[in-house]
Structure 1
């Protein structure tokens, strides 16, 4: 997780770089904060699940919390994918970059596994 100084630098630059490629995505401060807040809540849910295991909680109770964390991750993906389609994909299609459609289809296939 980023410390406060790193978050401020990233919000000032308003862009992040993927760890596996050189492509970048410029995000508004609002979009960035929303995504970080969602991830922070998910991180808290995961820590809670670990704590439940440490405390020998009943399996169905843990499973319920895992389902909630999965739903939160799916929601995160929906927001991220929506933003991606409305910005990156739409801009690339307007610019005639049809390879973006294949990239989107590959991404959707990964989500549906």
Structure 2
């Protein structure tokens, strides 16, 4: 089965959804910048690791949010239109998530 990143497709998101995702990405970016400063200031490894775990949790939560929207919107639409290739796309996506 061919893996495809589907770069030829687009997802139409509303203003509220874009704002929510952008705010969460900005928060993650702020967390990463904070970790950079911790490294520059020789912060204790344990403290850095705790902050890295917080970033991991934030990105996982955002990934789950986007996946949920993908399933409810993009996948549902494609299945309703008889585009069964979406199933192969989902299989590939779940394999990536389970690594």
Structure 1 and Structure 2 fold alike (TM over 0.5): yes
How many corresponding residue pairs?
94
TM-score relative to the length of structure 2: 0.91
Shift of 1:22: 2.4
Residue of structure 2 aligned with 1:101, choices 64, 80, 87: 87
TM-score relative to the length of structure 1: 0.80
Matched, 1:91 2:51: no
Partner of 1:111: 97
Shift of 1:65: 0.1
Aligned CA-pair RMSD? 1.0
Structure 1: state its 5+ residue gaps.
Answer: 1-19
Moved over 2 A (4+): none
C-alpha distance after superposition, 1:50-100 (max 9, x if no partner): 100000000000000000000000001000000000000001011111110
Structure 2: state its 5+ residue gaps.
Answer: 1-5
Partner of 1:14: none
Shift of 1:29: 0.5
